Amino acid sequence: MPNEPTPGYRVVLEQFEGPLELLLNLIEREELDITEVSLARVADQFLAYVAEREDIPLSDLAGFLSVASRLILIKSRALLPVLSFTEEEEESIADLELHLKLYQKYRAAAGKLQVLFGMGRAVFGRDSFLGVESVFYPPQSATGATLRDAFASLLGDIPIKTDLPVEEIRRIVTLEEKIFHLKESLTERATASFHEFIGEDADRVTVIVSFLALLELIKQRYISVTQEAAFGGIHMERLEARR
């Protein structure tokens, strides 16, 4: 694993371990089957890895956080069997198991392909017209218009390079941003509810990032929070005297 900054972004991408790959490696290293129990066992290792790796591309961070959040759910149930989960949470745990098993199948298939590649059973076709001299023989149908069309479709093939990653990054709310918003909304009012802050239709990643922002602000002693009941609303209060 490279310690110094790699000059080429591509190299990093090629060697990059995705969340599923990482999780499967951890499970297979322990020689476990893919079950909720074994997921709970490797949860800590997964979280530690994500915390250590600082070079996870922003575009993949959401994937890591989504897997991490589900591992935390699984782990908390392993520790506290009385916890009951919502239907959605149960589903997301089942999905992770399912997805991982599927990925495992194709990874095994990749191994078989590798064996096939090494078997030396390649076949050969004739390189047709090898050595045939070239003659200028333009097709009758080649007109300015067809050439223009061909060139236009060629241009259409060139991927628009920068737009896609930018879009992806925008979609993810950064932790700093959330901390800033959270501070801001608590400047206007001394108290606020976390539920209101994240809004009705926040996606999973936004909720996770918002929650991390909340934890960070507690750490900074900027706010204090109270929660009446497990899974109840979280009430945030700005701490006045301290910074």
Partner 1 sequence: MQPSPIQSLEAVLFITGEPVRLKDLAKTLSVDAKALDELLHVLEERYAQDAESAFFLVRTESAVRLTTKPGLQPLLEDLSKQSLQSELSRAALEVLAIVAYRAPISRSEIEAIRGVNCSFTLRNLLLRELIERKGNPNDLRGYLYSPSSRFLEHLGLASIHELPDFETLSRDERAEHVIQEALQNENTAE
Summarize as ranges the residues that interact with partner 1 (CB under 8 A): 10, 13-14, 16, 18-21, 57, 59-60, 63, 67, 95, 98-99, 101-103, 105-107, 109-114, 116-117, 119-129, 171, 203
Give the residue with the Cβ less far from partner 1, 29 or 189: 29
Give the residue with the Cβ less far from partner 1, 57 or 69: 57
Whole-number minimum distance, CB 227 to partner 1, in Å? Answer: 29
Whole-number minimum distance, CB 51 to partner 1, in Å? Answer: 19
Give the residue with the Cβ less far from partner 1, 107 or 181: 107
Whole-number minimum distance, CB 90 to partner 1, in Å? Answer: 15
- 72-93 per-residue burial string, b: 16 or more CB within 10 A, e: under 16: ebbbebeeeeeeeeeeebeebb
Give the residue with the Cβ less far from partner 1, 123 or 229: 123
Whole-number minimum distance, CB 26 to partner 1, in Å? Answer: 14
At a CB cut-off of 8 Å and minimum separation 6, what does 2 contact? 12, 15
Amino acid symbol at 134: S
Measured N-to-C along each axis, helices 19-29 and 36-52 cross at an angle, to the nearest 10 degrees, of 120
Distance CA 152, CA 2 (A): 42
Give the residue with the Cβ less far from partner 1, 60 or 89: 60
Give the residue with the Cβ less far from partner 1, 114 or 187: 114
Helix (H) or strand (E) holding 226: strand 223-227
Distance CA 11, CA 6 (A): 7
223-227 sheet: strands from edge to edge? 191-193, 234-238, 223-227
Whole-number minimum distance, CB 15 to partner 1, in Å? Answer: 8
Do residues 175 and 217 lie in contact, with contact meaning Cβ atoms separated by under 8 Å? no
Q: Cα angle at 119 between 115 and 122, to 5 degrees?
A: 120
3-class state of residue 77 by DSSP? helix
Whole-number minimum distance, CB 139 to partner 1, in Å? Answer: 15
Whole-number minimum distance, CB 220 to partner 1, in Å? Answer: 30
Give the residue with the Cβ less far from partner 1, 16 or 211: 16
